[in-house]
Chains A and B, each alone.
Chain A
Amino acid sequence: MHQDTIAAVATAVGEAGIAIVRVSGGDAYQIGDRLFSPVKGGTLQDTPGYRIRYGHIRDPESGKAVDEVLAAVMRAPRSFTGENVLEIHCHGGPKVTQRILELFLQSGARMAEAGEFTKRAFINGRLDLSQAEAVIDVVRSRTDSSLDVAVQQLEGSLRRRIDSFRERLLDLVVRVEASIDFPEEDIPDVELGEMQTIISSVRSEIQQLIDTADDGKILREGFKTVITGKPNVGKSSLLNRLLDEKRALVTEVPGTTRDVIEEVVNVRGIPMRVLDTAGIRSTTDVVERLGVERARDLWREADIIIHVLDASIPLTEEDWDILDATENHKRVIVVNKIDLPRSWPLEDLPLDSSTKLVEMSLLEGNLEPLLDTIVQLVHGGMRLRTEEALVTRTRHKQALAEAEDDLRQAQQTLDDGLPVDLIAVGLQGALEHLGEITGETVRDTVLERIFAQFCIGK
């Protein structure tokens, strides 16, 4: 598996003060020397690790300076990826940054795939599984609130919680195993009542952690939203309002189909991913263009549907088709153009528990009530728990659920009055599943502790 040299812009695209182009791989410094000329002379290949050189990036063909930069050298294995890493800190304009990246790509580096730096760091043993995943989240996180969760996870708040579960179960297992393996030593058997207490308390805390998974997922991935409605009701006004108010963060190119692109908007700290059909912007309607059937697929994918209606003209067949098709889906019905005379009463709308209603003028009205409504619908109005550990990964949730299930079985075994070697099966299983999250093994730890804790021997 030859690790070639990869490069990418490591900072967010935008008008930031400084941008970083990161290069990682065996040839990072050779390639760098083709482009970078240090003011004080010498080469990057001769620069020791953890040094920063000042100089210029030059276009090798024209010899012209592209930008004045700092070049940071971090040598393998003491770098983020565990490989030779070169970081070019440049002046941040998107064009300059892009040009520097292109020069690297022309000089022998390959464009990094999404998350590839982290993947290499993980493969080179620089990160444990949960750290690696959290780093990927940092890279991907789109809003401040998401960033909080990702950063905390990296620092190990999830890890601390899991360590606490492991610690309590380990202590129990160590005592159980010591009494099994050394029956002729005076090691007290673990009392069933105590076992009961520990198992059920750890179990309920694991369950609490699992319950944060939905919040975690929304914070990390955001929620998918589709804006729908017949032509000229104000869909594009809504999208433009959302985008205008500087909430738009990233424009991603390909969506689920070639007709759909995704706009990401920051709503109260949660990424709202608006599945934008080219249709909304060009005011040709998705339903019109794709038909209700195709639109239905899009609605199914969405976490939330925003259905825009025009209060000033009577409801038509088309409005009713959409209302029927989106029934029982989480939706916000925006009754637009209330500044104009109404042509139908609100009571006509079929309201159910998953539907919220907002009346406003999308052209100039206050957007805040609509945003509040959306957020409320997304997570039932609960305040998102950003200050504590959240399960943001499906894999973590899965492992926790399995650990919880093992503990449930251990508890059942205990209640059935079955012997301790069978209870131990569940306890060990739970420990192993928790270890899957942090990448730690159980067996040797148990033995170490038996000897540290008990005086055993002939």
Chain B
Amino acid sequence: MFPKNEHYNMIVVGAGHAGSEAALAGARMGARVLLLTTTLDAVALMPCNPSVGGPAKANLVREIDALGGEMAKNVDATLMQLRMLNTRKGPAVRALRAQSDRKLYQQRMKLTLESTDNLYVKEALVTDLLVQGSSVRGVKVADGSEIFGDTVVLATGTYLRAVIYIGDYRDSSGPQGLKPANALGENLGKYVATARFKTGTPPRVHLRSVDVSQLDIQPGNFFKGGFSFETASVESRQLPCWLAYTNEETHRIVAENLDKAAIFTGAISGTGPRYCPSIESKVAQFPDRRGHQVFLEPEGWNTYEGYLSGLSSSLPAPVQLRILQSMKGFEDCEMLRPGYAIEYDCIDPLALHPTLQVKGFQGLYCAGQVNGTSGYEEAAGQGLLAGANAIRELRGQEPVVLRRSQAYLGVLIDDLVTKGTNEPYRMMTSRAEHRLVLRLDNADRRLAHIGRELGLVSEQRYDRCAKKWSAIERLCSSLESQQVRPGRETNELLQRSGSAPLQRPASVADLLRRPELDFWSLAPLHGQYEVEQQTAEQVEVEIKYSGYIEKQQRAIDRMERMENRSLEDVDFADVRGLSREAQEKLQQVRPRSVGQASRIAGVSPADVNVLLVYLAQRSKRRSYSEQ
């Protein structure tokens, strides 16, 4: 299967969401890429619920799309339901969320990988890296063969020394009974510091055994387009989800059996995510709550298997069944698979450069859950950048590092490599300081030029995007300059929309800034009937919130000044006056800028001042010595 002396530009270990994007990015950039997976049947597997998007995560998917990644298209092509969340909470936090068909999602991604030139997807269990000095040379696989590659991207997900727990049952296994990667887990510690994290899944049930008429139905609510900027429309036939609740009886059963839950018996040492607590954690931490929401979600068009979002558990299977059957509508419920907790090795992301390269190893990159993150979207985004940067390093090109003010993906990676993480890291809008500019709707404007530079976005696609945005800008400025005079017709129009009559002339844009008016209600005034809906929405956001956006832009400019103060050639041991903690942290993280340094835990504003003073003194000394 691996002919002797075969050589690749990049070897990607793991074909999940990170690995798939990494491999596609590399191959699409023209490099020769080998993608290895323990089983070809688990490509792009979604072992948690088959749901993609939500606040901040949807923005990540759009960013991946704008950079030329695959995830958005894959969701759009395989979705069963699409909802727009947070519709009334504002333009910056609107969030698309899709339910995909789990199997279709995998099939389509596998087919995409298989159809890509230069990309070789093969089944093999990687056991170790081949390292020469400080450079990676390839990987070693289970049968002892060595495969050579200029660069390696580790995207091993939750498989490194993975162990699953169901009550006191414990098994060395990856998710859904898949093979764990034990040898690689043991060997990785030779190269980089590792930690142990945990996560979990809920039980799956037979949908026909649940009386859904007792539950609240939750249909899709969005049909106008999908995640990808290139998707014109999505499947209009959508499947509903259902909303159920736990009750006091459920909580009593959980409480009585807490001592049997793997996470409480002390069997699990890994740290779990706070935003994804098991039902046993919820009951233990919030004893006053009388009910918790549980979403019943179909897993696909061609199955009756249903996923119970909110009911993740590591209790013994019989207890899980009693929990299920205590809920209204679930009295006769049939459990198909029990939930389980899973524990796995990941690396300490402080070991990474912001390019996702492992510090001290040429050609070695890590992406996805192995970096301590959680979520398909977070993984896919890292995969794309790790893959692209590995090939750029090989070609001697500047790596791509996104700024915090440019993309959620920039926030994600900056957080990881600057602060590290002590739980699986999930993206949230509150992690971004400038979310008004990191919107779902403008991801292509923010990032398409980078996708083009990487060679992942075609010229045609880039031109379409550039044209769309210049049309939006033109339309905005024409609405700003178009004057409306007060008059009977105008005021009648305003009154119909519940808006106050005009007293003196105003621009159409001024009227559009009134909360109660939108682009279409003002159409008789501006006469732009031929505009596409997407464009109209953009114009609305740009005009209505321009004051807020400009304010945030000024804050970004201030922040960028610190981001541009480079620390790349500073030896922090030389800097006198830093607190000891700051000195240690700075030496470990090696921040690239004063801005990044200021975000490190343990680096106080006083330490930042010391760094600024140091830089000022150094440049003074340098200018003296030049004289």
Chain A residues proximal to chain B, CB less than 8 Å: 1-3, 77, 82, 120, 122-125, 127-129, 177, 179-186, 413, 416-422, 425, 428-429, 439, 443-444, 446-447, 450-451, 455-458
Contacts and interface: CB of A to CB of B under 8 A. Distances in A.
Given A421-B90, A425-B551, A457-B277, A1 B577 contact: yes
Given A2-B576, A124-B579, A455-B292, A419 B90 contact: yes
Interface string B408-439: 00000000000000000000111101011000
Nearest to B605: A439
Contact of A123 (B202, B295, B577): B577
B56 A1 contact: no
A458 B515 contact: no
Q: Which has the most chain A C-beta neighbours within 10 Å: B430, B435, B609?
A: B430
A452 to B, nearest CB: 9
A123 B85 CA distance: 47
A123 B606 contact: yes
A179 B90 CA distance: 12
30 contacts: A1-B575, A1-B576, A1-B614, A1-B617, A3-B576, A124-B606, A125-B579, A125-B582, A125-B604, A128-B605, A177-B430, A179-B89, A180-B430, A181-B55, A183-B95, A184-B295, A185-B293, A417-B515, A418-B90, A419-B90, A421-B91, A455-B282, A456-B274, A456-B275, A457-B273, A457-B310, A458-B48, A458-B49, A458-B276, A458-B312
A458 B424 CA distance: 14
A455 B312 contact: no
B516 interface: yes
A451 B310 contact: no
Given A124-B579, A125-B607, 13 more contacts: A1-B576, A120-B577, A123-B606, A123-B613, A125-B582, A183-B95, A186-B293, A421-B89, A443-B430, A444-B601, A447-B431, A455-B289, A458-B276
B309 interface: yes
A122 B606 contact: yes
A407 B91 CA distance: 21
Given A122-B606, A180-B89, A420-B89, A443 B433 contact: yes
Give 4 nearest A-B pairs by CB, closest first.
A421-B90, A419-B90, A125-B579, A451-B274
B169 interface: no
Interface of B: 48-49, 54-56, 85-86, 88-93, 95, 97, 202, 273-277, 282, 285-286, 289, 292-293, 295, 309-310, 312, 428-431, 433, 435-436, 515-516, 545, 548, 551-552, 555, 575-577, 579-580, 582, 601, 604-607, 609-610, 613-614, 617
A3 B293 contact: no
Nearest to A26: B576
Q: What is the predominant secondary structure among interface residues of chain B facing chain A?
A: loop
A323 to B, nearest CB: 49
Given A1-B613, A417-B516, A443-B431, A425 B91 contact: no
Contacts of A425: 436, 548, 551-552
Given A180-B430, A450-B430, A458 B309 contact: yes
Nearest to A129: B605
A124 B433 CA distance: 28
Contacts of B614: 1
A183 B86 contact: yes
Given A447-B431, A457-B282, A458-B309, A422 B90 contact: yes
Contacts of B433: 428, 443
A419 B576 contact: no
Contacts of B89: 179-180, 183, 419-421
